[in-house]
Amino acid sequence: MTIKTALLATLVLALAACEKSGDDTNPPGEAAASPAAGGSDAGAAGDASGEAKTPPGAPDVKWADKTFEQRKTWMGIEVLPKMKKAFKEYDEAQFKGFGCETCHGEDGKERNYEMPTDSIYPLPKDDPVKAAMEYDEAVTKFMVERVVPETAAMLDMQPYDPATGEGFGCFGCHPME
């Protein structure tokens, strides 16, 4: 695989790369916020003190409504493992070091993981799939057929529909040329 394949392969995964967290709603290294500060959602199982706690990554909260901390945690416990598996199945050798930086770039943390990122292959505004197919057909098919739909589902979105211009697609991750 070439560098351009690696760049294109990060189409959707920029959203899929965050640190994995295991047992609280905050990603590793982040302090827990108090309920008064908006760090806890009511209605979930309570802890020993009887205070309601939100499960890690707030799985019952739609992506658009998650806090920044919930999004980071969701990326780590849901999106990153699934996309890492998908990319390694696609090309184990090329994606053996798959992680946050694969999609968000080396400066992801400094940019608060904002997407799209200029760290991955830019696509033209007009017919990005056609341009990507001309660039690398195999990885584009993988992106369109597997990465986009799986990532869209994890982000509570529909895959991009060219007829309506709505949904999650190329420009959710890739910068526009």
Note the pLDDT tens digit of each residue in 35-71.
333 343 333 445 555 566 878 999 999 999 999 999 9
* More confident of the two residues 31 and 109: 109
Q: Is the peptide bond before 56 cis (omega within 30 degrees of 0)?
A: no
- Phi (first) and psi of residue 176, to 5 degrees: -85, 135
- Phi (first) and psi of residue 52, to 5 degrees: -65, 140
Query: Quick check: helix, strand or coil at residue 21?
Result: coil
Residues 109 and 118: their CA atoms lie apart, in Å, by 14
Report yes or no on 177 lying in a domain.
no
**CA distances to 7, 91, 93 from 129, in Å:** 14, 21, 25
Q: Structural domain tally of the chain? A: 1
Letter for the amino acid at 163? Answer: A
Report yes or no on 132 lying in a domain.
yes
Q: Which domain holds residue 121?
A: 3-172
Residue-wise pLDDT tens digits, 85-122: 999 999 999 999 999 888 888 899 999 999 988 888 89
Report yes or no on 88 lying in a domain.
yes
**CA distances to 52, 96, 136, 173 from 122, in Å:** 44, 23, 13, 9
Report yes or no on 87 lying in a domain.
yes
Residue-wise pLDDT tens digits, 118-136: 888 899 999 999 999 999 9
Residues 150 and 32: their CA atoms lie apart, in Å, by 30
Report yes or no on 96 lying in a domain.
yes
Report yes or no on 28 lying in a domain.
yes
